[in-house]
Structure 1
């Protein structure tokens, strides 16, 4: 028969053995396992050893903060042995730099029998400083009166240094991003903006001043096109993607965009061991409008010289061709007359002065024709390159601005936002479209309308870029809508000195680009020139 008191003593001895030998299991009797123990089975020595070996510095003081007990971790953190601090006040650890307000808060909480937690600057035995993360709690007796204070603290210096370093780095990064002239934004998988700097907000306002942030964001994604789609789907970065934003106003914008994927980890505790894919997208956008405008001004000046040279060369060629055509007729008549007279030998001797004169005239005419043909200026040979018709028309509007202003013409410019490029010669296209615009301006200047409007629009349809140039001038009669493209034909009065070569040159240029130019017969409010150019 088991004695209950003896059984209790055996259990106590088993606990003491564990504390002494440091074994991982409590010795138990054969008919009782470890899960049958209760809190009442643990001796005070177990609690003492648990506190003594705790990894946090623990001290117990009286109500005046005189140390009554300090564990091993306390000695390790402070450098003082338990014998050195016994009976000493906790103030021996103070560096006397902690604000008085912190101590007032500490004692205020303890006087209310409540715990206090905070940070204090402490001094070790070797005079080195450390930041202590301290928690102090009152120890109450059965009458709810404070009899001791229990203090627990740890060296928080390294963690504080790391936190401050992270905070400082975050502050520096935030300052750099917010003050950067480049627009920066981070999007999640649903394209929600997670972060954006002031430059990005300004860019969005410039892109769509009358639209919402969501609409402006979609415009940006549309401009980036396939690059942005691949970045989101496959994390393939893109660099130096240049886009143009042109909705027809005077504020055309140019941007250089870069995109990269950012892999972030989930913050929730449930995903600590199994991190889900959390990809974000970083987009940076640099506004290069001012640089492009300076380049465009230089290109326009060069373009003016090129167009003037092209026009002069074309006019010279047409004049020479006209002269050749006019001279070829008389020369041919002289040759025919000479042949006829030579066959009538019964009336004209071979050395007859009339025949000799005709031979001299024929020879002189042929020599003149040959000289004219050899003197024809060569057409400049420009390379076929990808050309954006929106850029061509904007250059034309810039070149024609003085005329537009002097004639009081209001321009409505409606380009398609993403217009495909065509293969062509930019200089020739600019020259051709400028002729059409100048013709429209001159037509409106000769009308009695006080409100003069020029509408220019572009759009793509069925592998064709379609351009419409509409004016509210007097228009063109139906019987002349094909004749106006003939060389040397002009509807302008002779005294204005017009050669009638403008529309002929326009048609030649458009045909060289495998396109068509025509007058819209359905347009009744003036004249509408329709140009269609194929793209691949």
Structure 2
């Protein structure tokens, strides 16, 4: 059977360049078109099929006789919207090429997605004589694209539902993907790029090793760390098709360690409170026993004096028995005195000790007034039993809180200044509370009332255990100044002391 495409000389002349058609036999073009892997069809201006090649017939499932002379809409399905056909006919009837996708139907009723390109073939006088169509089944590639799109949507949905902020970086450490949690966090931080605020990539190595960074977000301190993982290389550029080399990607997860840090800090403060309570209790017990021993020593000394004054050879069984019982009681009290050596002496940061004290007392002082502290120099080191020194400072703050609660009309103001001077470390505690209950003219018994003098003896006990001294002054402007003096550690004496404010 002869094919109309090449029976019509004018069509052949329009389809094949003149220079080529002059040297090659028209049968070659028929063979090339017939054996092409691209599905090709040719219709008249009314869309009746005049030619289909083998690839077209294999694609549709129809035979040549079933297609020739039949309208091309034999392949149409109801799945393609009418407007697509209207757009197609509007273009090709004006002689314009049209490229688009149609859902076609094979002879067996199965559907396939066809990418169709249609061009008009003109006669010598410029009229449209035929339409040349090239068809490609893109069902598989469309399914693959949809599968990839679905996977990307699923990944995006999963990432956006992950509570942790997650970002993907390219080889230049630029963000190429982030999730909703990260976007929200950046918005809460004033729209700034949170990763850069954390010091990435400048401090990449330090962050990757587990370093934490604190940022103020929404008026609260938030502590963040990073988990960094390299991603498998993904090749998506045409230039890398054969090399199979792609730039590296990095997956970064922001770890919000704020709550864990808060819990750890709270646990540490609770442990610190327990140690302070224990230390103060031991000091109080020791002080009470010392006071009892002092009171017992008076009568014992009198008994001893009476025994010495007795004539030689004259015994007083009552005096001897009383004296011996007194000595035994004194020995029992001495044995019950708890040791103040509850921890090993070591070096510790004075600034960190004051920070601990502030963390412990600011929640209690907040409703009554204010507590401020500073340390000069910032790297000042102390030596001894850290918790005993902390307990000494804590005892005076306890006294301030008791007096402040008795005088709620006066806002409490406390400053704590630690500094090095004359080969010693000084802790100067100033408050705006009157020292009337501890005035020199006050009866001696007032010194034993909680918050009214007892703490001074306990502080003296603890500081004395470190070869230190205390000094108490009434300030002319009102309030009191308690100064604790401790020897400067030997290692610090060997280097110059610089000054600096830590708070």
Same-fold call, TM cutoff 0.5: yes
The verdict on how the C-alpha distance between 1:434 and 1:213 changes in structure 2, with shifts beyond 3 A counting, is: farther
User: What is the aligned counterpart of 2:156 among 156, 174, 185?
Assistant: 174
Equivalent residue for 2:240, pick from 268, 271, 275: 271
**Counterparts of 1:57 and 1:529 in 2: how far apart (Å)?**
98
Q: Which has the higher contact order (CA 8 A, sep 6+)?
A: 2
Mapped partners of 1:131, 1:353: distance in 2:
128
Deviations 1:476-512 (A, max 9, x none): 9xxxxxxxxxxxxx99999924331454577589x79
Give the deviation of 1:293 after TM superposition: 5.2
Q: Please state whether the residue corresponding to 1:496 is helix, strand or coil.
A: coil
Tell me what 1:32 maps to.
none
The match for 2:83 is 101
Residue number in structure 2 paired with 1:498: 454
Q: Could you state the TM-score of these two structures normalised by the residue count of structure 2?
A: 0.67
| Structure 1 residue 437, shift from structure 2 partner | 5.1
Matching residue of 2:205: 229
Counterpart Cα distance in 1 of 2:41 and 2:461: 100
> What is the aligned counterpart of 1:213 among 186, 192, 196?
192
1:382–1:493 CA distance, 2 compared to 1 (3 A): closer
Shift in alpha-carbon separation, 1:221–1:336, aligned structure 2, 3 A: farther
Query: Per the alignment, do residues 55 and 404 of structure 1 end up closer, same or farther by CA in structure 2, a change over 3 Å counting?
Result: same
- Check the 8 A contact 2:103/2:114 in 1, yes or no: yes
Q: Give the conservation status (yes or no) of the 8 Å contact 2:223–2:258.
A: yes
> Does the 8 A contact of 1:396 with 1:434 survive in 2?
yes
* Cα distance per residue 1:368-425 (max 9 Å; x no partner): 232113223466967999x999998777556535641342x2456999xxx9xx9999
The correspondence for 1:363, drawn from 321, 324, 330, is: 324
Distance 2:298 2:85 in 1: 117
Structure 1 residues 264 and 71, CA, compared in 2 at 3 Å: closer, same or farther? same
| 8 A contact 2:60–2:105 mirrored in 1 | yes
Match of 1:482 in 2: none
1:353 corresponds to which residue? 315
Question: Which structure 2 segments of 5+ residues have no match?
Answer: 1-18, 419-424, 436-445, 472-476, 492-503
Q: Displacement, 1:127? A: 1.1
- 2:128 corresponding residue in structure 1: 146
Which region of structure 1 is more displaced relative to structure 2, 370-379 or 127-136? Answer: 370-379
Question: 1:175: how far off?
Answer: 2.4
Q: What is the SS of the residue equivalent to 1:120?
A: strand
The two structures have a TM-score, normalised by structure 1, of: 0.63
Q: 1:529 to 1:83 in 2, by over 3 A?
A: farther
How many Å separate the matches in 1 of 2:244 and 2:84? 41
Tell me how many residue pairs correspond in the alignment: 443
1:115 paired residue number: 97
- Report if the CA contact (8 A) 1:62-1:147 is conserved: yes
Work out the CA distance in 2 between the residues paired with 1:327 and 1:199. Answer: 71
Q: Deviation at 1:182?
A: 1.5
Which stretch shows the higher mean deviation, 160-169 or 191-200? Answer: 191-200
Distance apart, 1:109 and its partner CA: 0.9
Alignment correspondent of 1:375: 336
Between the aligned partners of 1:430 and 1:202, the Cα distance in structure 2 is 42
